[in-house]
Amino acid sequence: MKAVIFAGGYGTRISDFDNEESIMKPKPMIEIGGQPILWHILKIYSSYGINDFVICCGYKGEQIKEYFTNVAQPSWNIEMVDTGLDTMTGGRLKRIQNHIDDTFCLTYGDGLSDVNINNVIAFHREKKAISTLTAVHPPERYGVLNLNGDYVTEFREKPSGESSWVNGGFFVFEPEIFDYLEDDSTILERAPLETLAIENKLTAFKHDGFWYAMDTLRDKKYLENLWKLQKAPWKVW
Residue 34 lies in a domain: yes
Q: Which residues pair with 2 in a beta bridge?
A: 52, 104
> How far is residue 191's CA from residue 183's CA, in Å, rounded to a whole number?
12
How many domains does the structure of the chain reveal?
1
| 143-188 per-position pLDDT tens digit | 666 667 766 666 666 555 566 789 999 999 999 999 999 999 999 9
> How far is residue 39's CA from residue 109's CA, in Å, rounded to a whole number?
9
| 59-83 per-position pLDDT tens digit | 999 999 999 988 868 899 999 999 9
Question: What was the pLDDT predicted at 139?
Answer: 80
pLDDT < 50 regions, the chain: none
pTM for the whole thing? 0.90
Domain containing 177: what range? Answer: 2-228
Question: What was the pLDDT predicted at 149?
Answer: 75
Contact 95, 81 (CB under 8 A): yes
Residue 233 lies in a domain: no
Domain with residue 55: its CATH number is 3.90.550.10
Q: Which residues pair with 36 in a beta bridge?
A: 31
Question: What was the pLDDT predicted at 157?
Answer: 61
